[in-house]
Amino acid sequence: MPAIVIVGAQWGDEGKGKASDQLGTQVDYVVKFNGGNNAGHTVVVGDEKFALHLLPAGILTPGCIPVIGNGVVVDLEVLFSEIEELESRGVDTSKLRISANAHIIPPYNKKIDAVNERMLGKRKLGTTGRGIGPTYADKMNRIGLRIQDLFDPSILRQKVEGALSQKNGILAHLHEEPTFDIDEVTAELLSYADRVRPMVLNVSAELNHALDAGKTLVFEGGQAAMLDIDHGTYPFVTSSSCTAAGACTGSGVGPKRIDRIVGVAKAYITRVGEGPFPTELFDESGEYLRETGGEYGTTTGRPRRCGWYDAVVARYASSINSLTDIVLTKLDVLTGLEQIPVCVAYEIDGQRMDDMPENQSDMHHAKPIYEYFPGWEEDITDCRKFEDLPQNAQDYVHKLEELSGCRISAIGVGPGREQTIVRHALID
């Protein structure tokens, strides 16, 4: 039975939550391996819509065990707020498991995040201000707090004191901001210890034992390839490893155990925050995609920047992730357009470039080279077979498949769990 990694193949918000949720009905574990509550998934089940920020999409599937891996950073207040919200709506969260090695987002890092972004001024990155970046920085600087530290008050206080010896100095002397009290921060974090203790385990051992027993696992990535700290449009990226390789480092499962890697991509493209975006639209077409597609952030509510499908990005994501499949979402949003542009290459300084530019300046100056495809008028939200789609919609999917260098195995034709066309099964 497979271990399947699901990653974003663009700049995030592609619909990974829906893909994970759908596979969750067929798997034993859904594992979140990176990021924190800086990105969200919207999952529609029947007539209900669920906005998930920190919890894996598998939390909505009875019988599936949702797991937060060591690569995730956890805001404990958000964690329990989200749990309480789901339980108030009848969702059983008792099977949630959290790695003892996952790092905690302390309250001072949310403040540090906000003041850092403010100090950047015009060079701001467009972060969510939720303390994600500073917490990953603490992890690399080896002054971070881990879930397991909640169970040793003495160790926790020592670590908070060590971190605040730096953070308070920065806040007071550089930013002229109020500082944090060591005992107050320690007490706030310890208030969650008894609640989180039953959820904590050795995630690496649990997942490897599950694979040995023939269980099926889905690894659910946050953000997307173009926001990866190493391979994205740096510095306008997130602070974690969003590619398929991050599933291994963020969970403790080795790469030889991964069987399938699924990239999720919209039938157009969006991004939130600052940074280069070659196909971005500033006209009525961009507004049409935003309003028709409901392109507003699940976590922040910010309007997303919208553009046409970028096959250069798709090929790059396919390459760096070794994608075996693409799940194409929101094809229905394109219904009613007379023609649909697709970016097939970039023009940079008068030269055509078919691959992702290595140089950051080149990416900022890249101009899209478009090919145009005829649209369709027919409502496709009730289509459940590929052959049910209008011919122009079928042709569009075939062309994206060719340009992206990876087969398109599933197509979203609406927000509902059931509004998906499956061309190739993701679980054999």
| Residues taking part in catalysis | 13, 41
Between CA 395 and CA 418 the distance in angstroms is: 23
Q: What angle do CA 160, 164, 166 make, to 5 degrees?
A: 135
| DSSP category for residue 280 | B
Phi, psi (deg, nearest 5) at residue 38: -95, 0
Residue 295: which residues within 8 A CB-CB, separation 6 or more? 13, 270, 289, 303, 304, 306
DSSP-assigned states of every residue in 48-67: EEEEESSS-GGGGSTT-EEE
CA distance 106 to 378: 51
Cα–Cα distance for residue pair 68/74, rounded to 1 Å: 9
In a 3-state reduction of DSSP, which class is residue 213? coil
DSSP 242-271: -STHHHHHTTT--GGG--EEEEEEESSEEE
Nearest partner of 327 among 407, 397, 264, 270, judged by Cα:
264
CB 60 within 8 A of CB 23: no
- To 5 degrees, how large is the angle CA 218–CA 242–CA 53? 70
Q: Look at residue 348 and give its three-state secondary structure.
A: strand
Phi then psi dihedrals of residue 134, to 5 deg: -60, -30
For residue 147, give the DSSP letter. G
